[in-house]
Amino acid sequence: MQRKMSLSERFDSLLPPWMQEIRVEAYQKISESRFAGLCYVGNEEAMRLLIIGLWQFVDDFPHIVGRGKRCLTRLSHVEMHGMREMISLLRKTKKILREIQTDEEDHRNLWLETGRALGLIYPENFKQEPLPEVKNWIKAVDEESDPLTMFLKFAAIEIIAESISKHLIPSSNFTAVLGKRGCEWFRLHTVHHPGVSHEELALRIGFAFCQGDPIKNLCNATIQNIVDHFVIAAEACLTLCP
Binding mask 4-43 for Fe ion (x = CB under 5 A): ----------------------------------------
Cα dihedral 56/62/67/71 (nearest 10): 130
Residue 233's identity, in one-letter code, is A
| Smallest gap from residue 160 Cβ to Fe ion (A) | 9
Q: Which C-beta is closer to Fe ion: that of 161 or that of 208?
A: 161
Q: What helix, strand, coil percent values describe the chain, rounded to 5?
A: 75, 0, 25
Nearest to 68 by CA among 177, 144, 164, 172: 144
Q: Which C-beta is closer to Fe ion: that of 101 or that of 175?
A: 101
| Smallest gap from residue 30 Cβ to Fe ion (A) | 15
Binding mask 100-139 for Fe ion (x = CB under 5 A): -------x--------------------------------
- Reply yes or no: is the peptide bond before residue 123 cis, omega within 30 of 0: yes
The CA-CA-CA angle for residues 241, 53, 218, to 5°, reads 110
108 near 176, Cβ under 8 Å? Answer: no
Q: Which C-beta is closer to Fe ion: that of 26 or that of 86?
A: 26
| Smallest gap from residue 161 Cβ to Fe ion (A) | 5
| Smallest gap from residue 104 Cβ to Fe ion (A) | 5
The DSSP string of 149-211 is HHHHHHHHHHHHHHHHHHHHTT-HHHHHHHHHHHHHHHHHTTSPPSS--HHHHHHHHHHHT-S
| Smallest gap from residue 190 Cβ to Fe ion (A) | 11
| Smallest gap from residue 54 Cβ to Fe ion (A) | 12
Q: Which C-beta is closer to Fe ion: that of 23 or that of 107?
A: 107
Binding mask 143-162 for Fe ion (x = CB under 5 A): ------------------x-
**Distance of alpha carbon 143 from its chain centroid, rounded?**
14
Q: Which C-beta is closer to Fe ion: that of 30 or that of 161?
A: 161
Q: How far is CA 238 from CA 51, 87, 131, 220, in A?
A: 11, 46, 11, 27
187 binds Fe ion (CB under 5 A): no
Considering only residues 48-107, where is the footprint of Fe ion by CB under 5 A?
Answer: 107
| Smallest gap from residue 15 Cβ to Fe ion (A) | 20
Q: Which C-beta is closer to Fe ion: that of 7 or that of 64?
A: 64
Q: Which residue is nearest to Fe ion (CB)?
A: 107
Contact residues toward Fe ion (CB under 5 A) are: 107, 161
